[in-house]
Structure 1
Amino acid sequence: MIEAMIYALPFLGQGFLVTLAVSGLVVAGSLVLGLVLGTALAFGPVWLGLPIRAFADTARAIPLIVLIFTVYYGLPALGVNLSPFWAAVAALTLFKTGHVIEIVRGAITSIAAGQMEAAKAIGLSFVDRLRYVIFPQAVRRFLPPWINSVTDSVKGSALVSLVGVVDLMMAIQQVIGRTYQPMPLYLLGAIIYIAVNASLSVTSRRLEARFARVVAS
């Protein structure tokens, strides 16, 4: 058992780096898109909000595995050929963007309307109202569900192995094929995922406490 784990470490290390790369790109891409689209959904006109709402609801309703297969196998039929890595990143980003849009919208709309009106009354522009009044308060309400979304991205990245990306999960499968010892290797993989998500949870609590102090000051 121990020998199998030691033998697997170099292979799992390489796969883990791919998992981190996929997760990092998905988190960054969905955060940027989610912030822009979520803010537009909260403050934009109806004609802009309707397609954003439709996209967010659709992205959240489609099972992730279906979305990955649709992007990987469907886009070539339209003349768009992506490598397994980038097809998986694109599918995961679309999926998580739908969630981040709703998180951003919920965090913004939870701020009392009077806050925006008061900022407008003292002459702040719309951008300054968002920057100095709405966003600092919304961040505290945004962080906990967003960190949950980040941990889901890390766990969901295991599905990229289904299209041939050699991530942590695929590396585990490959080593199992050589050692025929699935239990210790799956256990080691579970420990790695737990350690990453536990670190994210600790970071979330620290960021939330820090923003609370900043807003209070």
Structure 2
Amino acid sequence: MIFERGHFIYEFWVARFSLLAGLWTTVSTSFLTIVIGSALGLVLGLVLAYGIWPLRFLARFYVDVIRGIPLLVLILFAYYGLALFKISVTPYWAGVIALSAFCVSHVAETVRGAIQSVPAGQDEAAKAIGLPFLKRVRYVILPQALRRVLPPWVNTALEMVKGTTLLSVIGVVELLLASQQAIARNYLILQFYLAATLFYFIVNFAIAQLAAALERRFRRFKY
């Protein structure tokens, strides 16, 4: 047992740079995906809730189509399909594009539902005191809607982190693939998968803590 533990420590030390590079790839792609997906998803959610009919139709079409396509298919299309349109992207950015497109559709639907769940009386009261549309949305509707958005947003963010494991199919060396490459050299299967699990837990725990901090901040809005 002591020998096996020492062997794992040695092999982990040997593979540390590749594992850290894989972890950085996982963290960076997750971060970009969540930021881009949340920002564009918020805009698309507002279009779904308040947009004029043509824009609302296009937004609804996009959300329904993307949500109905498996994430792996989106990743493969972003890498191989875009090349058909003479658009060349690296595997890394193809992964970011695919994950972001998937994240946008889920965040947009979440934002739309949260906005429409705010009691209509809130908007009417804001309108009665003379607030224009944009200020009603910014100061009255969104602060209340964002509290409802946070729990499903956390789930979507965690799914994006787990979704990075699929990027290995287009050659992106993220954390899981880096762990598998290390396992191929030393056959310490359980140990390296447990180490990868710990890294994924740390990333997801950080996201959950960020969401908890945001929820405490929004808690001051009473309705």
Q: CA deviation at 1:201?
A: 1.7
Match of 1:133 among 125, 131, 140: 140
Q: CA deviation at 1:113?
A: 1.1
Aligned residue number for residue 198 of structure 1: 205
Match of 2:184 among 177, 180, 203: 177
Letter in 2 for 1:132: Y
- The yes-or-no answer on 1:11 pairing with 2:18 is yes
Distance in structure 1 (CA, Å) of the matches to 2:90 and 2:205: 31
Q: Is the 8 A contact 2:175 2:196 kept in 1?
A: yes
Q: Is the 8 A contact 1:151 1:197 kept in 2?
A: yes
- The yes-or-no answer on 1:46 pairing with 2:44 is no
Letter in 2 for 1:195: I
Which stretch of structure 1 is more off in the superposition, 70-79 or 171-180? 171-180
Distance in structure 1 (CA, Å) of the matches to 2:84 and 2:51: 35
Q: Is the 8 A contact 1:8 1:185 kept in 2?
A: no
Aligned residue number for residue 86 of structure 2: 79
SS at match of 1:80: coil
- Offset from partner CA, 1:18-47 (integer Å, 9 cap, x none): 111111111111111101110010011222
Distance in structure 2 (CA, Å) of the matches to 1:199 and 1:165: 23
- The yes-or-no answer on 1:91 pairing with 2:98 is yes
Match of 1:116 among 102, 110, 123: 123
What is the TM-score when the length of structure 1 is the normalising length?
0.94
Structure 1: stretches of 5+ with no match in the other structure: none
Aligned residues: 216
What is the TM-score when the length of structure 2 is the normalising length?
0.92
Letter in 2 for 1:91: A
Aligned residue number for residue 161 of structure 1: 168
Could you tell me the percent identity over the aligned residues?
45
SS at match of 1:199: helix
Task: State the superposition RMSD in angstroms.
Answer: 1.4
Structure 1 stretches of 4+ with a deviation exceeding 2 A read 1-10
Q: Is the 8 A contact 2:27 2:203 kept in 1?
A: no
Distance in structure 1 (CA, Å) of the matches to 2:172 and 2:52: 41
Aligned residue number for residue 65 of structure 1: 72
SS at match of 2:202: helix
